[in-house]
Structure 1
Amino acid sequence: MLALWGIAVVALSAGGDRLAATPALSATQPDEDRSTLACWPKSERARRREFEQKLIEAPSADKLREWHDLLAVEPHVAGTPGDLREVGRLADAFRNMGLEVQEHEFWAYLCRPLSAVLQVVTPTAVDLVVKEDILKEDPLTANPELMPGWNAYSGSGDVTAEVVYANFGTKADFKKLADLGVDIKGKIVLARYGGNFRGYKAKFAQEAGAVGLIIYTDPADSGYCKGLMYPEGGFSSPTCIQRGSILTLDYVGDPLTPFVEATKDAERLDPDDLALPKIPVQPVGWGSAQQIIGRMKGTAVPQGWQGGLPFPYRLTGGPELTVRLKIEQERSITKSYNVIAKLKGNRWPDEMMIVGCHHDAWGFGAADPLAGTIVLMEAARCMSDAAKAGQGPARTIVFAAWGAEEYGIIGSTEWVEANRDDLVKNAVGYINLDMASMGVEFGSAATPSMQRVVADVARVVPQARGKEGETVFDGWAARSKDGPFTHGVRFGDLGGGSDHEPFVCHVGVAAAGFGSGGSQGNSYHSTYDNLNWYRQVVGDDYAPAVMITRMTMLTASRLADAPLLPLDFVGYGKETQRHLRDLAKRSRELVEETSVARMVDDTDRRDAMQAPASDLPLDRTARASVRSPFEQAMKPLNDRATAYGVLAGGASEHLRTLMGSDVLSDADLVGINQRILGMDRAWLSDVGVPGRPWFRNLFVASDEDSGYASWMLPCLRHAVEHQDSSEFEPRVQTYLDIFGRLVQTVSELKAIGTGER
């Protein structure tokens, strides 16, 4: 899973006894008629506020601790016996709540490590560590089921070669090495974690001709440069290793069954026909990396490439330094499960609001994923208790614990592919909780349609360990120092990296990812990610988990209960304008890079590549005059998005007025809500994003060169990145057509109740 939320340093203090307090009315709290509470008739809003207050008071820190004890009891890598036992624990817990439970079986192409050897061969033989130290202070680290460090889907092989340091191993880093004349062919690449998805480090290294890759955690990114190391503190010790998949296909889910559910008897692709990694790849801690980097004698690295180890970093090790990397992995079709629990709706049972978090981990998984899974379980418990008391949801709420996410977002994708048509028709939203309760600093990435309801809910949920009356919104807004701001706070863009991806990118469902940070430490994908680390670093009061549970329940409940769906279709206008501005900026950057490359003589290329951008020979005046061939072509789309925003704002205001007047029948609401759902689905294309047809949402896709980041308006972004001006205008027309459909829909909404229909 991607760590969506940055980790900052804060004081961890007790304060759970204040968590049940009702926040005083925040100064930032909006007029109720302009919030998502306006999606209820005025006559029902007082009762709605009372119900939400009960939900706020329902979560228990003690119960969250019990969920953690239950689910973090053993390592549970997908497809292992521990994974199957975890599935049983989850299913039993959901059944005990009285929910309708399905153990959704899927058969995916997974792998497991058999052996790993990493050695400095010359000038002096040294065996390097590929497994974390067992800590006497933490008995959990001695569990025999914990695996050595490994990267899933690594190629198997035994290679000995010279070493090249590639910084973060991004596409730009490999380009810089090429520009500097560094030969990677036949070498083992050493790259540090960060900057992109680890799989792209392997992809780019293999494409450059490397015979192997070593990925390490640099102390500048998580280690003694950040703070005290575990077990004294929370940061990475010399042997702390980040595991993870390195799968980089043009789709997510089971590698052998794109677009279809991975049943036992499904028709499968031939693994030999896929672009699976071929070179051996091994992750290590910074202690092992130090043994290699400290022996490198080549040219000093460019500016910005120096890490946190106490000596100058070098680009090459030279022929006198050789390293051996031997990896053996086994790949096979393996069974795992999603656990699906349903709380049936009592008014529109076919429509569904989905809340999900994966259950598999690379070890104990106390943080990733269980800091989110425990929220899922507690939200399910509280909301099922409310239903038993006669306050069940209007729409069905699905609580989903996904399997095999760590291998490549597999379980959630298989469920989405199995239920594609139903989700397109009936899914009103999805909340992703992967690794959600990691501190008191709340953050969210969300589709435009989900942002308003999340911001509204944050205004009434108490801030964990906060001052009396302080809300989540207050803390979030105070940290949102840099724009763009949406509804008073900063949202991230949902791209790749977790289980929201199939919902957003494949079936166009409105979605939000919840997360929190602020704790002083990082155990990401290591064997130290256990209950001892979590309770020492994040805290044992479970205040962050209580806060995220409240955010989850209120957001899910508003989407499940509101007679008028609280999805903000207005946001697509402003967000498209913002993304067009970003796209214009990116296109100018690429033009500038091309101009610089042409101006720099080949004999001076090396010096130029090591200089900061401000020292390159394109002066400030020249930069200001740079224009890309794409900018003028964007103008019609920007104008259309602007006009849509005005029209959509009027339609939204009109619907709130009708709702407040209590004049809409059930039949009216069904028709309105289907049109509102259609706003997110309007971005779906049967053709998909260029080169990646599985990515059907033309508003957003994952970045094709980093995996975690988002490409907004991806058809246009693809043309810009590939400098394909011939395809740009036809793709602009595709987006103009989408806005044509959106304009038609909001016109229909604005006509409701006026006699114009």
Structure 2
Amino acid sequence: MKGLEEKKPVKKVQSKYKPLFRLLIVSYFVLHAYFVTYPNYLNSKASIDYKEIFLNALDTNLAGNWSKTYTSVPHLAGTGKSLVNFTRDKFEEYGLKATVDDYEILVSYPKDHDLNLIDSTTGEILYKAPLKEDVLEDDPTTQGNDTIPTFLGYAANGNVTAEYVYANYGTKDDFETLKELGIDVTGKIAVVRYGGIFRGLKVKFAQDNGAIGVLIYSDPGDDGEITTKNGYEQYPKGPARQESSVQRGSVQFLGGVGAYPGDPTTPGYASKPGCERQDPHKAIGKIPVLPISYREVTPILKKLNGHGVKLSDKKWIGDLDGFDYYTGPNKKAELNLYNNQDFNISTLSNVYGEIEGEKADEVVIIGNHRDAWIKGGAGDPNSGSASMMEIARGLGELIKAGYKFKRTIILMSWDGEEYGLLGSTEFGEYASKILQKKVVAYLNLDVSVSGTNLNLEGCKSIYGLIKKVAATLPYPVEGVGSLLDHYLSVHGDKITALGSGSDYTVFLEHLGIPSIDMGFGGGKTAPIYHYHSNYDSYHWMEKYGDKGFVYHSLMAKFLGLIALELTDQEVIPFSIKDYVDELTRYFEIVKEKIPKDWESKAIENEATWNELLITPVEEMKYLDESTNGWYQEKYIPFPELVGKSDCMHHKNHLMFDIKKHKNLTLSDIVQITIDDLAQLGNSSAIFDGESASLQTQYDHRDSLFFWQKLKLHYKILKHNKLMQYFERNFIYEKGLYEREWFKHIIFASGRFTGYAGQVYPMLQEAIEDGDFDRLVKSLGIVSRTFRRVSDQLVI
């Protein structure tokens, strides 16, 4: 991929040739400006209307065709080679430069499994769970001998027999509640329901509490209104959940303490041939786990009635027929749980399609994963695959028309997302320096369509652009208005912070690249989406999910136009002030969580308060590299402050008398952080004003003299680089506490949730752990970041 290739370094020139070399450099930039930049500044309007051509191309909706292709064969991670070739060939057909990028990654594939309910007094098998989904006459995807068995990726092999207990959602708090109720999980099998947190963390918390196996089921009580008890028929006759449906998935410890996404055997580095392999069990479990349907779990859980503690908390009660929601165990009932999978190093293939732009060092990436747990996967991920292929087709029409892309666009079809963001993480680790140098934004599609409500997550800096594009597209329901009108009516004027669970994770939380994730999902009265089940099929999508594939097409138009706006505007269309306003709102949330008795506590630990004042040289080198020198800060040493010459203090921010530092309390530190954040807000407002001014000057450049155009070119160049690398400033070299892979100090997945985002994770985790000194240290890191960025934005 030319857009993500590194240029060869320039050799150092001998000192006697330096004057000549400088003259050549100046001449190069002048000639470059004249022959390359000046023509771009010559006309105030493009000769090609990219919006019209792109939207006209997509007026013919082929999303259903792509959906049918992507759901026609099984395609677990590392399989489905025909879809690798199909994606590559289509990219090439539409004029994109296509590349296949392989990685060798540990994955697991199903071999055998069994589950029996046993009378522990007689040894009699009372019930044998089928552990398979029903074949449906109406749904061709469920038929034939090529469907994938029910299983959980990375679930450990084992054959265990034990009593069992009901553990609700299997959260950290749920297991704590069981302890408080006197229910010991040690040596037992935990039966938990889907929801609340990522399934892998359910396994981690069960294992941490001594469980020797786990069952995970889908409780109809979590399906809202659309249930059989409320009179709705099951799929395929109606919109309610098919009672045999099973949610497959990964049980990697995504985002958990000590864990990391990507290949469990290569933490923090890429799984290329010959790489070193490590013990994977920081990221995956050691106990067997099976997923089952609510029909299969009902006779198992009914055996707990009258045993253990009867639960009264509504948070613990679902809607299974015949189960009275007791904790168990029942001394006369045991489960025999058997799981056998093939763990091996498999070749996973990412497919990239590139359109080279005029600004080779400014790249916009659109990503979607291709692998699915089942043969179908019409929603996850292939609604996104279909939308992305429509984007490729629309971009192809622009290439045919001769449209000149200012910035490079790369479409990326990931493999292995389902197991633990494998393809994207390994690529991100492999190409980290180039990605940090060149990428402007990462735009993610996963489940593009599973309903009709637009959902958005991402960095607030991109939100204004998203709204601008959404306002131009009609929502496909009469009387609603624009796509923006619809979004505001459902969510209000806000965008949710990103956590984890899809391929944006490595870009935002490891590399500091601004990212968004979007898709149309269902509401409380929408047909039940059979997530990771055989019933996530082309037939379900065509009948219930998106009749006519209207929302697939709308997503292609929406995300395609966002990418084109990012590539067409001369000044990168981000709002830094919006981002900082969100930081302010987030900080108020965190501030309210600080224990009141901490506020007046003095900062007595010298190592702790030093974090407020100093930035280690190694950290500055890392930040300088991550921001490619555009946020390089001028520091002066204060060795008398800490007695170390490798620690430095910012020259412009002696916020308080150093001699009185021992009188500081936590309230003082919090106020300093608030003041620094306010100053960043002021700087960002000035910076955004300059963004608007520079774009206006560019739009009216035909009235400028040549030297004025040249000056404008270099002003925009510098401004864009500050914009491009702004997010990188929030990457912390050492990473989060006990989660070093996650480096972003504003956004991370919750360590106890896996999916859901947690803002200011350093601060919140310190508060959760009751660690006062770590909170002060973290405030220092955050506050220093605000001061540094504030200064650089207005230089």
How does the TM-score come out when normalised to structure 1?
A: 0.84
Q: Could you say if the C-alpha distance between residues 197 and 630 of structure 1 is closer, same or farther in structure 2, counting changes exceeding 3 Å? A: farther
| Aligned partners of 2:448 and 2:519 also within 8 Å | yes
Aligned counterpart, 2:311: 301
CA contact 2:57–2:393 (8 Å) conserved in 1: no
- Structure 2 distance, partners of 1:200, 1:334, is 25
Pick which of 500-509 and 124-133 moved more: 124-133
CA contact (8 A) 1:587 1:630 kept: no
In structure 1, what is the Cα distance between the partners aligned to 2:676 and 2:264? 39
Q: In structure 2, how many angstroms separate the alpha carbons of the residues matched to 1:431 and 1:631? A: 39
SS of equivalent residue, structure 2 residue 211: coil
Per mean C-alpha deviation after superposition, the further-off stretch among 415-424 and 116-125 is 116-125
Q: Partners in 2 of 1:225 and 1:682 — Cα distance?
A: 52
**Distance in 2 between residues matched to 1:187 and 1:672, nearest whole Å:** 60
User: Residue 140 of structure 1: CA displacement?
Assistant: 1.9
Residues 716, 260 of structure 1: CA spacing in aligned structure 2 closer, same or farther, 3 A cutoff?
same
Does structure 1 conserve the Cα–Cα contact (< 8 Å) formed by 2:95 and 2:399? no
User: Are 1:220 and 2:228 counterparts?
Assistant: no
* Displacement of 1:385: 1.2
User: What residue number does 2:402 align with?
Assistant: 390
Residue equivalent to 2:333: 321
Match of 1:157 in 2: 158
Alignment partner, residue 446 of structure 1: 458
Deviation (angstroms), 1:86? 1.4
Deviation at 1:632, TM superposition (A): 6.0
The amino acid that maps onto 2:788 is R
**Distance in 2 of aligned mates of 1:330 and 1:544:** 38
Distance 1:60 1:445 in 2: 27
Q: Secondary structure at the match of 1:186?
A: coil
Matched, 1:548 2:555: yes
**Mapped pair 1:101 → 2:86:** no
| Unaligned runs of at least 5 residues, structure 2 | 1-39, 599-664, 699-708
- Residue aligned with 1:323, SS: strand
Q: 1:582 to 1:143 in 2, by over 3 A?
A: farther
Q: State the match for 1:241 in structure 2.
A: 246
Range moving further from structure 2, 308-317 or 656-665 = 656-665
Q: Which moved more, 1:430-439 or 1:53-62?
A: 53-62
Whichever residue aligns with residue 300 of structure 1, its letter is K
Offset at residue 61 of structure 1 (A): 5.4
**Which residue of 501, 518, 528 maps to 2:535?**
528
Letter of the structure 2 residue corresponding to residue 248 of structure 1: F
The superposition leaves residues 90-115 of structure 1 with CA deviations (integer Å, 9 ceiling, x where unpaired) of 11111111211110000100011111
Determine the structure 2 residue equivalent to 1:619.
none
Classify 1:56/1:632 alpha carbon distance in 2 versus 1 (closer, same or farther; 3 Å): farther
Give the aligned partner of residue 281 of structure 1: 289
1:429-448 C-alpha deviation (Å, 9 max, x unpaired): 01101011223321210112
Residue in 1 that maps onto 2:565 = 558
Q: Deviations over 1:428-483 (max 9, x none)?
A: 10110101122332121011221111111111112123438x211001111125xx
Q: Is the contact between residue 301 and residue 313 of structure 1 (CA under 8 Å) also seen in structure 2? A: yes
Aligned counterpart, 2:675? 639
| Equivalences for residues 346-495 of structure 1 within 5 A | 347-363=358-374, 364-467=376-479, 470-481=481-492, 489-495=493-499
Q: SS at the partner of 1:154?
A: coil
Provide, for residues 24-53 of structure 1, a one-character-per-residue CA deviation record: whole Å limited to 9, x for no partner: xxxxxxxxxxxxxxxx999847978x4324
- CA deviation vs aligned residue, 1:237-269 (integer Å, no higher than 9, x gap): 221000000001621111111222211211221
Structure 2 Cα separation of the partners of residues 285 and 631 of structure 1: 51
Task: Indicate conservation of the 8 Å contact 1:61/1:546, yes or no.
Answer: no
Q: Name the SS for the 1:579 alignment partner.
A: helix
Which stretch shows the higher mean deviation, 722-731 or 436-445?
Answer: 436-445
Query: CA distance change for structure 1 residues 631 and 463 in 2, over 3 Å: closer, same or farther?
Result: farther
Asked which structure has the greater CA Rg, the reply is 2
- 1:113-168: CA deviations, max 9, x gaps? 11110111127611112110111222320231212211111111111111110111
Hey, what does 1:186 align to over in structure 2?
187
State the 1:659 CA deviation. 2.2
Q: Which secondary structure state, in structure 1, belongs to the residue aligned with residue 533 of structure 2?
A: coil
2:687 partner letter? A
- Spell out, residue by residue over 1:260-312, the C-alpha distance to the aligned partner (whole angstroms, 9 max, x if none): 221121122134x6452111100001001111111212221141211011342
Q: Decide whether the 8 Å contact of 2:260 with 2:283 is kept in 1.
A: no
Change (3 A) 1:588 1:458: farther
Aligned to 2:130: 129
The residue number in structure 2 matching 1:71 is 70
Q: Deviations over 1:650-696 (max 9, x none)?
A: 22113312321336632222211111122111111221111112112
Q: Which residue of 1 aligns with 2:56?
A: 57
Structure-1 residue corresponding to 2:142:
141
Kept in 1, the 8 Å contact 2:576–2:687? The answer is no
Determine helix, strand or coil for the equivalent of 2:58: coil
| Aligned with residue 496 of structure 1, among 500, 503, 511 | 500
CA shift, 1:528, in A, is 1.1
**In the alignment, residue 392 of structure 1 is paired with which amino acid?**
K
Residues 639 and 677 of structure 1, relative CA distance in 2, 3 Å threshold: same
- 1:440–1:464 CA contact under 8 A, matched in 2: no
Quick check: 1:661 aligned with 2:661?
A: no
Q: Secondary structure at the match of 2:337?
A: strand
CA distance in structure 2 between the partners assigned to 1:681 and 1:569 by the alignment:
13
Q: Distance in 2 between matches of 1:156 and 1:60?
A: 50
Decide whether the 8 Å contact of 1:236 with 1:523 is kept in 2.
yes
Once residues 85 and 402 of structure 2 are traced to their aligned partners in structure 1, the CA distance between those partners, rounded to angstroms, is 29
Q: Distance in 2 between matches of 1:44 and 1:436?
A: 36
Secondary structure of the equivalent of 2:133? coil
Matched, 1:725 2:772: yes
Q: Secondary structure of 1:254's partner?
A: coil
CA contact (8 A) 1:433 1:515 kept: yes
Q: Distance in 2 between matches of 1:724 and 1:174?
A: 23
Structure 2: distance between partners of 1:409 and 1:116: 25
Amino acid at match of 1:268: R
What is the CA–CA distance in structure 1 between the aligned matches of 2:87 and 2:181, rounded to whole Å? 53
Separation in structure 1 between the aligned mates of residue 449 and residue 530 of structure 2, nearest angstrom: 14
CA separation of 1:553 and 1:275: change in aligned 2, threshold 3 A: closer
- Secondary structure of 2:519's counterpart equals strand
Q: Secondary structure at the match of 1:720?
A: helix
Relative to structure 1, the CA distance from residue 127 to residue 268 in structure 2 (aligned partners, 3 Å threshold; closer, same or farther) is same
Which residue identity lines up with residue 316 of structure 1 in the other structure?
G
Alpha carbons 1:449, 1:569 under 8 Å: kept = yes
Give the CA RMSD over aligned residues. 2.1
Letter in 2 for 1:638: I
Change (3 A) 1:536 1:653: same
- Aligned-pair identity in percent equals 29
The Cα offsets for residues 489-509 of structure 1, whole Å up to 9 and x where unpaired, read as 221111100000001011111
Provide, for residues 603-651 of structure 1, a one-character-per-residue CA deviation record: whole Å limited to 9, x for no partner: xxxxxxxxxxxxxxxxxxxxxxxxxx96664322122212211221122
SS at 2:443 equivalent:
strand
- Give the residue type in structure 1 aligned to 2:359: W
* Distance across 1 between alignment mates of 2:59 and 2:221: 37
How many angstroms apart in 1 are the aligned matches of 2:394 and 2:549? 16
Q: Could you list the runs of 5+ residues in structure 1 that have no partner in the other structure? A: 1-39, 482-488, 592-628, 749-757
